[in-house]
Each structure stands twice: as C-alpha cells, then as structure tokens.
Structure 1
Amino acid sequence: MFQSKSGLLVVVLAFSLTPLGFAELPADITKDAAVLKTRMVPQPNAVKFLAGPEVVINRDLKVMVSVNREQGGDAKKIASLFKTYWQCRPVINIQKDGGLAGMKADGYDLRASQGVMTIKASDFNGVRNALRTVRQIAEAQRGVKSQSCFYIPELEIQDEPAMSFRGVHLCWFPETNPRTIEKAVQLAAYYKFNYVVLEPWGVFPYKSHPELAWKNNSVSRGTFKRLVKTASELGVTMVPQLNIFGHAAAARHISGKHAVLDFNPSIQSLFEPDGWTWCLSNPATRKVLEDAVLELYEFFDKPPYFHIGCDEAYTLATCRDCRRGDYYKLLRDHLVYFHDIMSQRNCKVMMWHDMLLDSSDPRWAGYTAVGSKTHKLPDLLKELPKDIIICDWQYGRPKKDEKWPTMLYFKENGFPVLACPWLNSAGITSQGHLVQNENMMGLLCTTWHGLQGTGLMNMYYHGANAAWGAPEFSGGDKRGVVNMHIRQMGWDLGIDDYEDTGLIEYQIPPDESYPAAGL
C-alpha cells in the first residue's frame, strides 16, 4: 500500500494484467497520447503516458484507500462508481490518514503502473474526479462481442481546478425535455463543474403562488426534487434562480408569451404594463416574490447561493406609479431587501451585471451594458452590499490583449465576480484566463435556449477546460468526444427512449419554423 507524507486521500488499485481476451501489446506512447488526450475533458494539468504494460480494470481489482477526511460510506460510493463505469466490484479497504491535507479541493494525483493504480486526493470528491478521468480514457476489451474488462495505459496525471466556483447556468422551458436537463447536470458533474444554476422558465409548480407557473406546462415537484438530490450525489450544488426585476414574463421575449399574465389577467398590477418587468412600486409584488424566493430556497435544500436575475429590464418605470416615483430608491431598496432576507439565511445573492452599467459610457463600448443615467442605475454600486456576486455576461469574441473591463470594474468596486461566457470558444477561454489571473470567484457558463447540439458541446467542452485551467489539447474530433461522453451519461441514467438519447432529440427536427435567435 502507498504511504503518503502529505496527508491526502490515497487510493491504491491493483489489477490483473492479462485477463482472458487480452494480449500484452507493446505500448506506443506517442499514439496513445495523440488519441487518449483528446478524450479528456477537462484536460488535466499534467499528463504523462509511459511505456509499461496496460493496467486492466476487472473483477480482480483490489482497492486500498487512505483518506484525510473520511466520510461514512466512501467505500460504498467508490464501489458504486466501479460498478457503474466498468461493471466490476473490487474489494475496497479504507484507512484514515489525518496528516494529508495539502491538496486543493477536488484535485487529484493519479498513477497507474505495473498493475497498481494510486490516487491521491483530499477527499472523496477528488477520488471521484480521478475516476471520471480514468473512465474517459479506459477502453473496452478488444476482440470479443461483450467486454469483461477495460484497460488504460501506464500513466501519471496531476490535476487540480483553476477556480473554486465552476458553474453552468441551465434554463428549463416548457418545451425542454426533462431528460435533457438530467443529462446536462450529469455531464456538468462528469466535466468536473461543481455548481449548476437552474432557472425555471415558468415550469416550477409553486405552492405559495401557483399562478407563477404555466397552467398546464409545469414540471412536477417530484421531478425537481429528484434532480436536486441527484446533483448532490454527483458533487454538484444546485442554485435556483428567480428573476425579481426584468424577464418577469418567464418566457422568451421573442415568443410574446407570458407565464403569468396569459392566464391570469387579474394580477396585471404586479407588472409594468407590458409585463416584461416587475412593478416595484406595488407592495404586493415584493410579497409575491419573497414567498416564491423563499419557497425555492427551501425546496433546493438551502443552497449557499441564490440567483435573483435582474438583467434586461427594458421597460422599467413605465407604469403610472413607477414612472412618477423615485425609481432609483425603489430599485435600490428592492435589491437590498432580497439581499438581506437571504443573508439572514447565510445565502449569498447573485445577480446579472448589465443594468448596473450605463450603456452610453464609452468605457463599455463593445461590451454588454443595458443601464442608463435616466434613473441613476450605475450609482447603485455605491449602495449595494459588497457581498452580492456580480455575474458579468459577455458573449463576444475577445479583442487582442482582452482585459474584459466590465469585470475588472466590478472587482475594483469590491464585488465578487463570476465571468459568464456563452458559445464563443475564444471568449470562454479568454474569460477563464481572466478569472485565474485576477483571482476572481469563478466561471458561470451560460446555455440559454441552446442546451443541445453544437451549443451544448461548445459551452461544456471549452467551459470545463477554462475552469480547470489547462490548455486544451489540439487535434481529435471534439464532437465525437462529447458524443461519447453524453452517451455514457445516458447509460448512467438508464435512458431507453430514442428522443432522450444524444445531444438533440431528433436527427431531423419536426418543425424548424421557430426563431433560433433572440431572447
């Protein structure tokens, strides 16, 4: 058994090297590296393939674990991973070593050589991440119809994340297949993200205010609860979002739909006249939103963060009372109120950045800024609590020597900042570099209505690599790699319906008339 001096979780896995159906082939290190590195998402910080014999994963596996922070059930969790990934149940022994505490959370050190695999990590999460990497490169037995084992080359890997907050933002529309959300959460965990911000677009069935969800198109509470539980078991914290300012329609602007008003015209007073923005001068609005926010918070098992939205409030201050009142004060008090009720519960508030910047300010030319001087919204930064997490969404291609000035501006004003890219691969990578270089809070990768196909592939692939900090490995078929990984998520979920497989529901969409662009 490996004895570590640094106090980290140590897993020693011993394998039989030549099971039935295997031949000991000489390793070709160059070819192994060229192929296997393309399958690793995120790319580990350091990978070395060696010339020794393959290490085989089968039922003869012996596992010895030394853990710095032992938690009850770790052995069962590790055994379950081996059963899920490689259909074998090794014998697992665990001992606690309290002197090993030097490794970064979620990181790992993996070695496989001469029939022994050693994993060092600070806790079970690091071990699980190591085994996720092993799964991505392990190949099924060759020369048979049904494999009885898997193998990996002799190797050494050292890996750790570049930031503590590594998140994905998911939108759940009435049209969204629940399996799509499940696979997206599974893939986020597989790619070693540790947070998912989930924004239900009129599909969460509130008990406090049922009228906030679509009349016949909400998702069952049981489905939501299973998702929260599954995410936790995967090491992912679910963060709920409810828009308390703009996007009050809980529907895409381009659709003309409104989750509340289309079926409840009697409560128009809660909104500005066009329904896109909440009416902040109406005390009933705050009561409804507070009930809904606290219900979501409790339902999602009291997470450490809550996202209050607040982007793109295009029609603010358009009703009679709001346009005649002191709108700056209304909005300031509104934001501080929700900050305070969550702070009392040890929960930090997240919000989008755009309404806090003056769109006419030349400093922000070419970047997302939606606020204006008319209601002094940019002055809000002086009065907002400094522990509000600013989610700065910038979707463009980075300029030469890009510094993403809006993100630096919020950081310089004392706020924790999450960089929030979308789709543009160069932008995702650039923002990841900024987070590392400026020691910002982390990355929140957005998906919006593009949670399928190429959109999902780009966001997850490049986002995971940006969050873990290693340069992406060039070469290979990125689409094929993500296809393989999403298929593995389908196996884990037990998917058996055609529409639930792959990155899209249909190879040929049944209706291509719906607009693809816009909100």
Structure 2
Amino acid sequence: MQKPIITVVAILLTALSLNAQDTSPRYPLIPYPTALRPATGQFTVTAKTPVVSADKRFSNEAGQLRTLLESGLGKTLPTMGSGPRIVLQHDPSVTAAEGYALTITPQQVTLKAAQPVGMFRAVQTIRQLLPVSVEKPGTTVASLPLPAVTIQDQPAYNWRGMHLDVSRHFFSIDYLREFIDRLALYKFNKFHLHLTDDQGWRLEIKAYPKLTSEGAWRTYNNQDSVVLKRAQTNPDFDLPKQFLRQQNGKTQYGGFYTQAQMRDLIAYAAARHVEIIPEIDMPGHLSAAINAYPMLSCTGQSGWGKTFSVPICPCNEPTYTFMETVLSEVIALFPSPYVHIGADEVEKSTWSQTPACQELMKREGIKNVEELQSYFVHRMERFVQSKGKKLMVWDDALEGGLKPSTAVMYWRSWVKDAPQKAARNGNDVVMTPVSTLYFDSPPGSQSVENVYKLAVVPEGVTPQRANQFLGAQANTWTEYIPTENRVDYMTMPRMTALSEVVWTGKKDYPSFQQRLLPHLLRMEQLGIHYRLPDLSGFAEENVFVDKATLRIRKPLDSYILRYTTDGNQPQATSPTLPDGLVIDKPQTVSVAAFTPSGVRGDVYTLRYQQQAYANPVTVSAPKAGLQVRYFKKAFRKVAEMQPLTADSTFTTTNLLVPSSVNAPSFGLQYRGYLTVPETGVYSFFYTCDDGGVLHIADRLVVDNDGNHFPIEKSGQVALSKGAHPFSADFIEGGGGFTLKLKYSLNGSAPQDIPDSWFSH
C-alpha cells in the first residue's frame, strides 16, 4: 500500500545544512528537490563525454539520458571512457524507491539510485538543468553546460497524478504520449484516464464490439455546439477534423483506442515510470453503453433523470455479467493495481421505481437507493479484488457506505468532512478538490497560486490518519475542451505547481514563481500551448480624471505586447504597445502578449472612462466595520437578494465571511462607508466564487456577478480624500466559496484594505 514518505526531509536538509531554497537561475528546478547544496563551476557535456552505466538495471534510464544529450549535441556519445564523464551508479543506501542522489562537479556527473524509477527521476533533474534548447528538435550546439550542485531528493507523496477525460472529447494516442512526456518531466507518476462516460466509450472491448462501433460516436451535442460557437473567435475550440465521420448521412464525432494501441501506450508510460489508471465509470455516466446495449438500464433505454443520466440497473444479473466481462478485459490490459469505477453522480430514481430493485432491496435488507449503490459497488469490489486489484471511487460513494479496502478520490469541496470521514473509515484518500484541482475551471491570475497552496492532508486529520492520504491529483474534464491546444492551455502551468506540492512537501511560492519563468521558455520549445502569465498594472474598468498612462511590464523579455483600439482582438501584425500609452479620452484598449513562436496569451480588454473625483460624505458618529445582511438561499445573481428580507444581520470588521455563515448556499450584502486617506484613482480587485458586485461612492466599480469558479475582476474609481458610500454584494451557490477584495492607489501593488477604512 502506498504511503506518504516525508519523514526523511528534515534529515536530508540537516545533512546539507540548508535552511531555504536556492532561487538562483542556476537551479530552475520544478519540483524543487528535497535538499540542494549550490556549488561553483559547471560540467560541460560535449560529443566526447561518455555516459557510463555498468549496472544493467539502469539501461533504460541511461538510454533516455543519452538520447536527450545526443539530441542537443547532434552527436552520438560514447558509452565508456575516462576523463570527464557522466556515471549512473546503483546505491542501495538510497532507501526510497523514487529517491536519488545527484552530484555535479566540473570533473564528473554522478547519478545514484537504488531503483530504476529513482534513476529516471534523476535524469529528469538533469534535463531541467540543461539549456532549454535541448527540447527543440533540430537545434544542436557544440556543448551543454550543467551547473555544479549536490542534490538529495525523494518525493513527499506516492500519488502524484494528472487526469484526462477522453470521453467528452477524444484525443489522439500521439497527444497522450506527449502528455505522458510532460508528466515525466515534472516527476508525476500517475495518469488517470477517464475512458467512458455518457458522451463516448473510448476503449475497445472485444466481448461487446458495439461499445465502440456505436458508443464511441455521437452527433453533435449541446457541448459541441458551445465549443463550435467559441471557435468563431478562438480556433482552439474547433472540433478536430480527424475525429469526424459521415454515417448514414449524418456527421458523427468521436473515436476510440484499440487494445493494441492502449497496450503500446501503457508500455510507453511504463518506460517513463508513469502508471496509467483506467476509469470505467459505473453505475452512472453510462449512456454511451446503454445506447449500444439498452438492456443495461432498468427501463430498457437511455435517458436523463432529474439531474443525471439514467444509470445501469444494479438489480438484474445480466448487468453484473456485462460489467464483470468489461472489467476482465480492462484488468488484463492495465497493469496498474487500481481500477477506478467512478460511482459518482448517479441518478437513482429509476431504481426506486423498478420492481426488481424493490425485490432485491427487500431480500438483502437494503433500506434506500444509496445503500443499493453501495451493494453494487461492493459486488464490483469483490470481483476486482478476485483479480488481484484494488477498487477506487469518487467520494460520492461514501454516502451509502464503503468498505475500508476501497480507495477514495475526494472531489466535492462543499462536503468538507468527506476526507476525514473516509480516513476514519479506513479508506486511502487521494485529494482532487474541485475548488482547486479541477483544471477545466477557467484559469486566472490566482489559479497557479491556489494550486500551490493545496493542503494534501486537510485540517482535522489526526497524525495517525495522515498516512492514509496518498497524495493529490488534478482532473481535466473536457466538456468544453475539444483540442490539444486547449488542454495545454488549461493544464499548463497549473500542473507544475501541483508537481511541487506533491513532491517537495516544503512550499516556497516566491521561489517557485522565479523558477517557473525559465520553464515557460522550455514549454515553448516543447510546443506546449501553455497559458501565458497574467499581465498586470491595470484594471479592466479604468477611469482617468485628466489623463492616464498605461504601462504593462512583460513577464518575460521575449514576449511582445500588441494592442488595438478599434474593437478587434490583437493579432501578430498589430502595433507593439509602447512603454507608456497616454489615455486622454474614453476608449477601449485590447492588449495581448505574444511569444516568439506566435502563441497569443489572454486578450485583456481595458475600458477607460473619464471621471471626476467623487466628493466625500459626512458620517455622523461612525461605528467600526460593515453591516451585513445574511440570506440563507441560493441565488443566480446578486440582484435576486434585493427584494427579500434578510434572515439575519451582523457586523464585520472587513469584507469577510464569518464562521457563523454556514448555510450551503447564501447571499451577503455589505453596507457602510470606505474612508480613503488621500485623493486619487483607486483600483479594486474583487475575487468571487460564486458572484459579487462592488459599488463605491454610488458608482459601479466591479461587476463579477453570476455563479462561477473563483474569478478576479477589477475596476477603478476616482475618490477624494474622506468617506464614501460602500456597497458589496456576494453570493455563494454551493460547493465552497472565495471572497477577496484588494486595492491599489495610482498603480501601486494590490494590497489588503485596512479594517480602519470601513465604518457604518
């Protein structure tokens, strides 16, 4: 059973006399090693440098290191020789399977490990220390420098995963190989493939050929319609033409992997020490299978219930025959010790209405449909265990009861005690909270930092239970992610932050930010369409009194900032943004950064309006803090609170949500005054999950309304020194909330608003 292995970190740090991470550009490593001692000088790799490995157990890793270096040098390297060389050595004193030691001096590079997987991790560290030019095919140099250093390294957690949904939208085997390559680069070891869902069945099952001949294809659904509309302005949303076919006069979209293709992919991943975990979702999310084999549902047909799709029927024995046959082929194909069956979001209404289910529940003493789902899960677990495998499910399955032997992936952030409940039940847990690690949620200015702040072991877990938290994984659901470029954009660079969280154990976000910048250049060489860093120094809604000057600092010198003022989006041919663009009339400026290869970052639309300084108001006998009206109800927009009577009222010192606000869905109205210490143009940055609207001096400053993931929106207001009416509305629809408000004055760095500024 895999467990966290963080106990040796302190020992290694002491041995190397380190107290902090070295943020020098010489060591731009992600994830950061357990312990690193800087050294002076460098080792220079040339075409004469031997790569020596006397131990056959490391032949795969030595071969991959040699291929990497030869690609960068354009020459074949010797495998033996004296003088400066690179040596791979077996070292049984390295106790962790994935642990390694790396020493680079001007005379020699020495990689030590006890297991091949540890040696492979060492090779990836070498890869990150090499110039980024090694990543671009066809680019060769005469020599490759490696900075001198001593590293002792091993992971903090044994589950370091990424997930990709290939059911909602299909992705080629070639892209999956590329995805595995980047997992290896950042020392991930798990690749969770979501192979089946309502929208498509993606794996060949020889016993049931219609699962792919019919279940792998669909006519355009409502999600396809959404992405095709977005494709009109962003080609990253266009459906890949190679996955379209004409069938019976209709255009169908889809595809599947043959077992031979999947076997090759599994071998490719294994050579890079990445384990592929298959997910065959059941008993819900199976419309693709039911469409092909209608007898699987209790009603004999597919369809939708109140919330989710009609599931398979757990009360008919042919259902179990079908699922066990499917799982038998899956288990024979995938060497992973885990089999994931989902068991989430099950629409159980057809079960309660089916005589066969009523009879089964009576016979087995099952009290409700939640326990009926557990009955199904337990039967599947017995079968999976009979094949020598371990069952894994989403945390929804806890509701009806799980055996301690089942591994649980926690995703429902709004069910805050689910991880603790699973641990108390004896289940191993992998953290995948939707609030942080669902990479299908829109990335924003704080998304990388939010990932970096993840607690792998949540609060409230006793030290005795901490070892049941195997690690963490980010999930990429693809309802609205139809292309490889879009997957790149949604996952990168967020996944680099996760890699450090689950490998290093010790976090240092400022250091990570510095080390990330060289990795963006590496991603560019690799052809990864990553999301460029956010531009800053402005608000979306801007004001000026006489005139304003737009200045944007580039995250990387290699980026080019281009802009338009005619309503069109910036293109590679648009004018370059000057160092200071003077704004002296109301207008809209669109700005985007471009990489040297032509990849465009997010387009920022900056609206400018002229505004006089708002006059302050007189507040008689002000009291500290803001008054708050509390509504215990779900809202789609903040305006829906307006006509209602609040359930209660209270006072807060700042714009925050006290612990007494514990309704699953709620709305809050903050009212009072904001007293600013000097006259100026103030920018406000309002982060909401779900929605919020901010007014100051009776002027709309930020509109961040609606139900959505955490999003920061910004606006400006011109204020004279003194007190001004303050109004902030906030709604939480369920699933965990985020509420933050920061300000800046005349372009200064955003900061928290002092409590002393608020009164009522």
Normalising to structure 2: TM-score of the pair?
0.50
For 2:421 and 2:80, how far apart are their aligned partners in 1? 51
| Paired amino acid for 2:405 | D
The residue matched to 2:474 in structure 1 has which SS?
Answer: strand
Report the counterpart of residue 320 of structure 2 in structure 1: 286
Give the drift of 1:352: 0.7
1:448 paired residue number:
477
* Counterpart secondary structure, 1:293: helix
Aligned to 1:390: 408
Decide whether the 8 Å contact of 1:410 with 1:417 is kept in 2: yes
Instruction: Structure 1: state its 5+ residue gaps.
Output: 1-31, 250-258, 358-376, 397-402, 491-501, 510-515
Q: Classify 1:162/1:246 alpha carbon distance in 2 versus 1 (closer, same or farther; 3 Å).
A: same
What secondary structure sits across from 1:35 in the alignment?
coil
Aligned to 1:43: 32
Q: Deviations over 1:375-434 (max 9, x none)?
A: xx2xx14xx2x22111111458xxxxxx96321221122111111141454256423354
Question: What are the equivalent positions in structure 2 for 1:96-107 lying under 5 Å apart?
Answer: 100-107=92-99
Instruction: Tell me which amino acid in the other structure corresponds to 2:470.
Output: M
Counterparts of 1:222-261 in structure 2 under 5 Å? 222-249=260-287, 259-261=288-290
Distance 2:295 2:422 in 1: 40
Question: In the aligned structure 2, how far is the partner of 1:98 from the partner of 1:185?
Answer: 26
User: 2:389 pairs with 332, 344, 347, which one?
Assistant: 347
* Residue of structure 1 in register with 2:187 after alignment: 192
Asked if residue 153 in structure 1 is aligned to residue 147 in structure 2, the reply is yes
Asked if 1:457 is matched to 2:451, the reply is no
Superposition deviation, residue 123 in structure 1: 2.1
Pairwise CA distance, 1:224: 2.1
Q: Deviations over 1:465-506 (max 9, x none)?
A: 11102424243384762562474388xxxxxxxxxxx9xx99
**CA apart distance, 1:234:** 0.9
CA, structure 1 residues 262+277, in 2 after alignment: closer, same or farther (shift >3 Å)? closer
Give the Cα separation in 1 of the matches to 2:109 and 2:24.
Answer: 22
Letter of the 2:35 partner, please give it. A
Q: 1:467 to 1:73 in 2, by over 3 A?
A: closer
Q: 1:271 to 1:309 in 2, by over 3 A?
A: farther
When structure 1 is superposed on structure 2, of 169-178 and 125-134 the one drifting more is: 169-178
Q: Out of 112-121 and 42-51, give the one that drifted further.
A: 42-51
8 Å CA contact retained: 1:164, 1:442: yes
Q: 1:112 aligns with which of 101, 104, 108?
A: 104
Question: Residue 255 of structure 2: SS of its match in structure 1?
Answer: coil
Which residue in the other structure is 1:13 paired with? Answer: none
Aligned length: 424
Distance 1:506 1:287 in 2: 50
CA distance in 2, matches of 1:92, 1:487: 31
Contact 1:198 1:241 in 2 (8 A): yes
Contact 1:417-1:441 at 8 Å conserved across structures? yes
**Equivalent residue in structure 2 for 1:418, among 430, 439, 454:** 430
The answer for the alignment partner of 1:321 in structure 2 is 355
In structure 1, how many angstroms separate the alpha carbons of the residues matched to 2:139 and 2:599? 29
- 1:151 maps to a residue whose letter is P
What amino acid is aligned across from residue 162 of structure 1 in structure 2? A
Q: Is the 8 A contact 2:313 2:319 kept in 1?
A: yes
Distance 1:115 1:238 in 2: 39
- 1:212 aligns with 211
1:134 pairs with one of 126, 141, 148: 126
For residues 499-510 of structure 1, the aligned pairs below 5 Å read none
Counterpart of 2:456 in structure 1 is 432
d(CA) in 2 for partners of 1:351, 1:85: 43
CA distance in 2, matches of 1:95, 1:43: 23
Residue 501 of structure 2 is aligned to residue 466 of structure 1: yes
Contact 2:294 / 2:301 at 8 angstroms: preserved in 1?
no
Question: For 1:219, what is the secondary structure of its paired residue?
Answer: coil
Distance change >3 Å, CA 97–CA 508, structure 1 → 2: closer
User: What CA distance in whole angstroms lies between the structure 1 residues aligned with 2:325 and 2:411?
Assistant: 28
- In the TM superposition, what is the alpha-carbon distance from 1:455 to its structure 2 partner? 2.3
C-alpha contact 2:296 2:312 (8 A) present in aligned 1: no
Residue 56 (str. 1) matches residue 44 (str. 2) = yes
Aligned to 2:656: none
Residues 182 and 489 of structure 1: CA distance in aligned 2, closer, same or farther (over 3 Å): farther
> C-alpha deviations, 1:316-357, integer Å up to 9, x for none?
535423663524553333212211122122211111112424
* Greater RCO structure (CA 8 Å; 6+ sep): 1
CA distance 1:406–1:204, change in 2 (3 Å): same
Superposed displacement of residue 151, structure 1: 0.9
Distance 1:145 1:342, change over 3 A: closer
1:332 aligns with 2:374: yes
TM-score (norm 1): 0.71
Percentage identity across paired residues of the two chains = 19
Residue number in structure 2 paired with 1:12: none
* Farther off after superposition, 84-93 or 227-236: 84-93
**Pair 240,120 (structure 1): closer, same or farther in 2 beyond 3 Å:** same
Decide whether aligned partners of structure 1 residues 413 and 263 sit closer, same or farther in structure 2, where only a CA change above 3 A counts. Answer: closer
Partner of 1:181: 176
Contact preservation (8 Å) 1:189, 1:234: yes
Q: Please list the CA deviations of residues 245-288 of structure 1 after superposition, one character each: whole Å capped at 9, or x if unmatched.
A: 22223xxxxxxxxx235566576546675343222112222111
Amino acid at match of 2:186: Y
**Shift, 1:238, TM fit:** 1.3
Q: Check 1:508–1:264 CA distance in 2 against 1; reply closer, same or farther (3 A cut).
A: farther
Q: Which of 340, 363, 366 is the equivalent residue of 1:307?
A: 340
Helix, strand or coil at the partner of 2:110? strand
> 3-state SS of the aligned residue for 2:150?
strand
Q: Secondary structure at the match of 1:286?
A: helix
Deviating more after overlay: 169-178 vs 461-470: 169-178
Specify which structure has the higher proportion of strand. 2
Q: CA deviation at 1:212?
A: 2.5
Q: Against the structure 1 CA distance between its residues 486 and 162, is the aligned structure 2 distance closer, same or farther, given a 3 Å change threshold? A: farther
* Distance (Å, rounded) in 1 between the aligned partners of 2:122 and 2:194: 30
Are the structure 2 counterparts of residues 433 and 159 from structure 1 closer, same or farther at C-alpha, using a change threshold of 3 Å? Answer: farther
Query: What's the C-alpha RMSD, in Å, of the aligned pairs?
Result: 3.8
CA distance in 1, matches of 2:57, 2:190: 23
The separation in 2 between residues aligned to 1:71 and 1:436, in whole angstroms, is 40
Question: Where is the helix percentage greater, Structure 1 or Structure 2?
Answer: 1
1:246 partner amino acid:
G
